[in-house]
Chains A and B, each alone.
Chain A
């Protein structure tokens, strides 16, 4: 069922990524998924010393390499994009890489989402209508990271709800999502369900609620999203 239309501007993907970046604490080890999450690195203050993990086997991503001007061969992230390592990076095989993930050594993972439920369940690997899809490392990362953030557009391109009472798509992991960052809001998941913490400029709490299938409680500290 589509959400009612609210004729207000939604944040571009870059600003969602910028807001997530603000949430990352100095010294964190962080895994970023494909899509909006991958943009988070571009907006992270290098002075924070955050170390990014790529599950194909690299701990310590510095920046992208320019395709056609490869400086280091066979140095890629989990999206098969050439990257440069930081000084002090570590290379590992897939088994060691997922030991980092499963062992609870990542402070934060940021993944994309198709549906997030009020109990923290996440569905993000199989789109509706598709019989075959790839799960990649999403199920391991969602279950293994100490804190799981979701960065996504608040509704589907057809306006359907993605913040829901219960996921209807195949699950990636259960009860794991801690916070959702969207183009209209920041929503925390706590044992009682969703808590609205921040709204995009110009949006009211009632308007954000109209874009969610599940009820939102309001944080006592509810305020406008600040990116910087």
Chain B
């Protein structure tokens, strides 16, 4: 059986992520389904640069403990962000978010993508579909530079799949084979990112024996998951 390696710490689980890597970060927001510990390790324990982050938002987060500071993977290490919500939530907590100026000055490139298109680009990447046509964005700036075609009288634009080098995902529970169980709406982008990435690293509350998660509750199968790390919240 293909038991998945369990890393002792989030820092060890992400230690080999190199300069120039593309990294999908799962969940919906910093407070829902986000792999906070892995992202925090990227911020604090990694020196990799020229990174591309793919997510619903920007690479930032908070543990939920009010004592802990809000953190960001500093934009000086980030070449590009592909997301649907670039607005910086941490600016609401006092202090400017460095991404605001990085996007405005262009020192970090922003590729703004409609949320559903982002999800489908990842799902397509994981499913071996290099591109697809969608009605989302037709006639808007999201269509700029993209092929447009008409099918059955309706206009569509072509979107390319995403195949990130890494995905950082968060689930409530894994079994030793890497099968993941998510709690409620904490799935969000985690499953399509896990399928799209070359290497998927999952942070989970606990690791159980194969069979302890019922097959019909597994939203991400272990075939898409390559590393595990236990992070208690």
> Which residues of A line the B interface, CB within 8 A?
54-58, 72-76, 78, 80, 91-95, 97-98, 101-102, 121, 131-141, 143-144, 170-175
Q: Can you list 8 contacts pairing A with B, beta carbon distance less than 8 Å? A: A93-B191, A95-B120, A136-B84, A140-B116, A144-B135, A144-B136, A171-B139, A173-B137
CB of A91 within 8 A of CB of B185, answer yes
CB distance from A124 to the nearest CB of B (A): 11
What is the 8 Å Cβ interface bit string for chain B, positions 179-208, against chain A (1 contact, 0 not)?
A: 000011111111110000000000000000
* Interface residue SS majority, chain A: loop
From B3-11, B15-23, B27-35, B46-54, give the one contacting chain A.
Answer: B27-35
Q: Is B71 an interface residue (CB 8 A)?
A: no
Which of B98-127 touch A at CB < 8 Å? 100, 103-104, 110, 112-120, 122-123
Given A73, A91, A138, A170, which contacts B187 in the complex, CB threshold below 8 Å?
A91
> Which residues of B line the A interface, CB within 8 A?
28-29, 31-33, 56, 84-87, 100, 103-104, 110, 112-120, 122-123, 134-142, 172, 183-192, 219
CB distance from A202 to the nearest CB of B (A): 37
CA gap between A144 and B137 in the complex, in Å: 10
CB of B137 within 8 A of CB of A95, answer no
Extra contacts, 12 of them, besides A76-B32, A174-B138 (Cβ < 8 A), are A72-B184, A74-B186, A80-B29, A91-B187, A95-B119, A102-B116, A102-B120, A102-B135, A121-B139, A132-B87, A137-B115, A141-B116
CB of A57 within 8 A of CB of B85, answer no
If A95-B122, A133-B87 touch, whether A140 touches B117 (CB-CB below 8 Å) is yes
- Which one of A57, A78, A172 has the highest number of Cβ atoms from chain B below 10 Å of its Cβ? A57
CB of A101 within 8 A of CB of B116, answer yes
If A140-B136, A143-B136 touch, whether A93 touches B114 (CB-CB below 8 Å) is no
CB of B33 within 8 A of CB of A74, answer yes
**Which residues of B have CB within 8 Å of A137?**
84, 114-116
CB distance from A137 to the nearest CB of B (A): 4
| A121, closest chain B residue (CB) | B139
| A130, closest chain B residue (CB) | B87
**Which residues of B have CB within 8 Å of A74?**
32-33, 172, 183-186
**Which residues of B have CB within 8 Å of A58?**
184-185
If A75-B185, A132-B104, A135-B115 touch, whether A95 touches B139 (CB-CB below 8 Å) is no
